[in-house]
Amino acid sequence: MVSVRKFFGKTAREALLALKSELGADAVVLSNRAVPGGVEIVALPAESMGELNATVRAARQPAPSPSAPARVLPVAIPEPTPEDDHSANIGKQIAAQLARRSQAQSAPKPVFRSGIEAPAHDEDTGGRQMVRPFKPPHVSSHDGAMPAHLTKSAAQDERRAAPEDDARVQSLQATNAQLMQELSSIKGMLERQLAGFAWSEISRNAPARTQMMSELLEVGFSAQLTRRLTENIPAEAQINEARDEVRRMINRDLRVQDNTNDIIDRGGVYALVGPTGVGKTTTTAKLAARCVVRHGADQLALITTDGYRIGAHEQLRIYGRILGVQVHVVRDASDLRQTLQDLRKKHMVLIDTVGMGQRDKMVNEQSAMLTSAGNVRRLLCLNATARGDTLDDVVRAYEGPDLAGCIFTKLDEAASVAPALDVAMRHELSVFYIANGQRVPEDLHMPNRTYLIHRAMREIAPDSPYKMDRADTGLLMSATRSPSTSRGASGS
């Protein structure tokens, strides 16, 4: 029995979805049309095509002889119903139409409105009837599956739905972003509260450790290094024992050059680098004076790359005339290489470089120029009066394999040398010299561990606005997250 079904929807898409849900994706669409309130599609299941093929074969057989009884093929045609008057006789119409088309093989093959070709005789199949596979009307605009006004209606429906979908997605994204922000805020609040509870517990169980933390933070040590310096202090230790333990840790980790490693005696090519105003030219003159005193003026050469500041090279020329040392001015990397080649027999060559901020892109260009010039070692001048985070930026900007170490300048102007020591310890920089004045060459010294540690841990005055009490230390340590990965650091 040929089961013809009819489906209705407000749009062609809805009608097709209902058709696929009921008959499957292989259903055969017979017709579609616009009706009041929507679209109507008439279709039949894929398995009903076999019955249609049988009907076609029966129609093509020759008429029976008078002596032979008539052979009738039973073809069930659905009875019309009040709600299906449009498709009541479709099965009978299809059978008659297919019979007529089979007799006119020379005529071109017609196509149903649904885009399915009529059954055709295929020589390769032994005379069996073949049916083209089903294509849904919306697959291609060239199939002629749907009327133009229905296709336009479906496209309009999609265009109307697209802005609504975009607005819904944007709304969900905004809601998710707000939710994540609130969750992050709650997480931070919980972390601070838990850290505060932990700090209170440490204060009760190890009072000397918390007092030592307060002293280190208020003189300028970072929270990261403070945790590392105090983590091994026993809970039952007294404050004097805690201070001795911290001094021992600093003395172990601080790298300083002694008299046996003085670069004046070793010789070589050294370039003094660092930000503007840190004292590179003055420090170069101090090193040059020490070298002249020990090895003579003919064993030293001075080079300046500072051709940007007005009179910058003239300042070094004045020092050179006083010391009896020739000063060379270079402009680029090739000029520097040639000059160093000409000065290769000198015991020591000092290069005074252009001062520039640590965030200036020319820092990398300067480092590349010095590296390409040959065996040049850099000495980074660090201003002891600067904040710890500023010094940290400077070291990160100038670090590299050719960075031999650092020189602390303006030590006489610094209230505390703790930030400078902190940066040198965390970045494992060797301290070559300390400069504590403008006199040449008197105010340049080899670093002294005992002096530096004493200056770094010297307690600030009780009336200082930077004096911290236990509550301040607890808030600071609670708000500072312990890094999970850091060089030599451990969280508490």
- Does residue 186 lie within any of the structural domains? no
Q: How far apart are CA 304 and CA 16, in angstroms?
A: 83
Check residue 466 and give its pLDDT: 72
Residue 54: other Cβ atoms inside 10 A: 15
Mean pLDDT by 10 residues, the chain (492 residues): 77 83 79 83 76 65 51 45 46 57 51 45 46 48 51 62 75 84 77 61 73 86 89 86 91 88 90 89 91 91 73 74 88 87 90 81 82 87 91 90 91 90 93 89 89 88 72 58 41 36
Determine if the peptide bond prior to 441 is cis (ω within 30°). yes
Q: Are strands 120-121 and 129-130 parallel, antiparallel or unpaired?
A: antiparallel
- Does residue 107 lie within any of the structural domains? yes
Determine if the peptide bond prior to 36 is cis (ω within 30°). no
- Does residue 163 lie within any of the structural domains? no
315 vs 318, 320, 351, 375, 437, CA distance in Å?
A: 5, 9, 14, 26, 17
- Does residue 36 lie within any of the structural domains? yes
Question: Are 268 and 133 in the same domain?
Answer: no
Q: Is residue 38 left, alpha or beta, with left meaning phi > 0 and alpha meaning psi from -120 to 50? A: left
Q: Give phi and psi for 426, each to the nearest 5.
A: -70, -35
Last residue of a domain, one of 113, 146, 179: 146
What's the CATH number where 391 sits? 3.40.50.300
Last residue of a domain, one of 100, 131, 146: 146
Q: How far apart are CA 203 and CA 478, in angstroms?
A: 13
Q: How far apart are CA 2 and CA 52, in angstroms?
A: 8
- Does residue 385 lie within any of the structural domains? yes
* Structural domain for 65, as ranges: 5-146
Question: Are 116 and 262 in the same domain?
Answer: no
Retrieve residue 269's tokens.
């090519």
Length of the chain, in residues: 492
Q: Give phi and psi for 48, each to the nearest 5.
A: -75, -10
Q: How far apart are CA 491 and CA 195, in angstroms?
A: 12
Check residue 10 and give its pLDDT: 83
DSSP secondary structure, 299-318, as one string: GEEEEE---SSTTHHHHHHH
Q: Does pTM surpass 0.75?
A: no
Retrieve residue 193's tokens.
């509260």
- Does residue 407 lie within any of the structural domains? yes
Question: Are 407 and 266 in the same domain?
Answer: yes
Three-state DSSP state, 431:
strand
Place of tokens 């230790």: 237
Q: What is the pLDDT of residues 442-476, one digit of tens each?
A: 889 999 999 999 999 888 777 777 776 665 665 56
Q: How far apart are CA 251 and CA 188, in angstroms?
A: 36
Burial 201-222 (b: 16+ CB within 10 A, else e): ebbeebbbbbbbbbbbbbbbbb
Count up the domains in the chain and report the number: 2
Last residue of a domain, one of 146, 167, 188: 146
- Does residue 99 lie within any of the structural domains? yes
- Does residue 259 lie within any of the structural domains? yes
Q: What is the pLDDT of residues 271-323, one digit of tens each?
A: 999 898 888 888 999 999 999 999 999 999 999 886 555 555 677 888 888 88
